[in-house]
Amino acid sequence: MLIDILFWVLALVSVASGVAVFMVDSMARATYALAVSFVAVGIMLVMVNLEYIGIITILMMVMEMAIMAVYMVMYMGMNPALMPMDMTHNKRWSAVLAAGTFVLLATGVLLIPWPARIGAPAADLTASLGEAIMGPKMLAMLTISPVLFATIIAGLVIANPRGRYDRWGDDLKRGTPDDPMQGGLGR
């Protein structure tokens, strides 16, 4: 009973703080409202015995929101992001899109013939999750990892405004790199 009440309270909190993301007038509040929503979802995952996934969701999302707040302020330009501002844009089409998606998903939930549960959950869900990822799916993970890593490197290379020739000179023979910010290793 108590568990049920807690679950519904968390469900309400997650939806309400999700709504708050678009209602508040500050970048920081919007970001951390989203973080609260994710934390509520994470606790709900823990409540259905998915401890690892639930806690890691909270970890990743709080970390991500802390960084996202910085980027949101940065991309808005310092001034507007530090002042009260509207969190919505293109209101009519977003409303249409949101309502349409909701109707589609809700219809799906109600109309799909949900299958009955086959088998029982493993005793240690964290270990079985690890085995599921690292065992039969290892080949997929090994293939995806380098691709993702290469994408990150490529993204950085494309975005990097100053390469090694800027830093170390045309023949790469400068003694100390010419950096706008000094310090770090060997400088």
Contact status: 43 vs other proteins (CB under 8 A): no
What string of DSSP letters covers 37-91? Answer: HHHHHHHHHHHTT-HHHHHHHHHHHHHHHHHHHHHHHHHT-HHHHHS------SH
Looking up tokens 């490529």 gives: 154
Please, which residue, 22 or 46, has the CB nearer to other proteins? 46
In the complex, what is the shortest distance from the CB of residue 128 to other proteins, in angstroms, rounded to a whole number? 12
Using CA atoms, how far apart are residues 81 and 29, in angstroms rounded to an integer?
A: 11
Please, which residue, 91 or 164, has the CB nearer to other proteins? 164
Among 15, 23, 66, 138, binds other proteins (CB under 8 A): 66
- 22, 80, 33: which is closest to 61 by C-alpha? 33
Contact status: 28 vs other proteins (CB under 8 A): yes
- Counting every residue, how long is the chain? 187
Using CA atoms, how far apart are residues 46 and 57, in angstroms rounded to an integer?
A: 10
Per-residue binder mask for other proteins (CB under 8 A), 68-97, x = binder: -xx---------------------------
Q: Phi, psi at residue 85, to the nearest 5°?
A: -150, 160
Please, which residue, 41 or 69, has the CB nearer to other proteins? 69
Q: Looking at beta carbons, which pairs linking 123-126 to residues 24 or more positions away fall under 8 Å? A: 125/49, 125/50, 125/51, 125/52, 126/51, 126/52
Contact status: 45 vs other proteins (CB under 8 A): no
Contact status: 35 vs other proteins (CB under 8 A): yes
Contact status: 25 vs other proteins (CB under 8 A): no
Binding-residue total with other proteins (CB under 8 A): 28
Per-residue binder mask for other proteins (CB under 8 A), 46-65, x = binder: xx-x-xx--xx-xx--xx-x
Query: Could you list the residues that contact other proteins (CB under 8 A)?
Result: 26, 28-29, 32, 35, 46-47, 49, 51-52, 55-56, 58-59, 62-63, 65-67, 69-70, 123-124, 126, 181, 183-185
